[in-house]
Amino acid sequence: MKIFLIGPMGSGKSKMGKILSYKLDKDLFDLDKEIEKDLNLSIKEIFEINGEAYFRSIETKYLKKSLELKDCIVSTGGGIVESEENLNLLKNEKYVIFLNSKVESQLNNTKGSDKRPLLNSSNPKKILQKLYDKRIDKYKKIAKMEFFSDSMTNEELASKIVNILNE
């Protein structure tokens, strides 16, 4: 079983990936972390040096790489749904879980982080709202399950997901 976690930045995809990886005894393939490790650059540096379009193309390569893996948790970046190619790659996957989250929670979870190049602005809340509005339909379109990640603790949410997957 391969599980893809999608959702806006700050919705808890990386944290949930770690917890589910542990609870389900599966490897975790975190796209952003794999990209940073292989390129030896932070996401922020990749954006600064090469721009967002370059990053999105690399992200698609890593999504394709994740499709070759068996039995793992794949944590994607918030912008994975920006590409039609990515949507097509994910649409036939059985377990695509959308971690939905209010903009206030996203802001709270990303506050103080300098790792999020899209939020380098005087008004990160406005950017998060804009990204949410732009991407929400795409998340919903490819998700097979949706959970509100700010309505319970990470542990409670992980347990709920595990129970549903084990049914």
> What per-residue confidence (pLDDT) applies to 68?
95
Gap between the Cα atoms of 41 and 33, Å rounded:
10
For 88-110, the pLDDT digits (tens) are: 999 999 999 999 999 999 888 88
Is 3-160 a CATH 3.40.190.10 domain? no
Q: Quickly state the pLDDT bin for 118 (edges 50, 70, 90).
A: low
Helix ranges (H only) for 2-153 are 13-24, 31-39, 43-50, 52-67, 84-91, 103-110, 124-142
Q: Are 16 and 6 in contact (CB under 8 A)?
A: no
Residues contacting 30, CB < 8 A, separation 6+: 14, 17, 74, 75
> What per-residue confidence (pLDDT) applies to 119?
65
Q: What is the pTM of this model?
A: 0.94
> What per-residue confidence (pLDDT) applies to 112?
67
For 54-88, the pLDDT digits (tens) are: 999 999 999 999 999 999 999 999 999 999 999 99
Q: Are 108 and 8 in contact (CB under 8 A)?
A: no
Q: Quickly state the pLDDT bin for 143 (edges 50, 70, 90).
A: very high
Gap between the Cα atoms of 132 and 140, Å rounded:
12
> What per-residue confidence (pLDDT) applies to 151?
83
Q: What is the mean pLDDT of the chain?
A: 93
How many residues would you count in the chain? Answer: 167
* The two structure tokens encoding residue 120: 């380098």
For 32-47, the pLDDT digits (tens) are: 999 999 999 999 899 9
Q: Quickly state the pLDDT bin for 114 (edges 50, 70, 90).
A: low
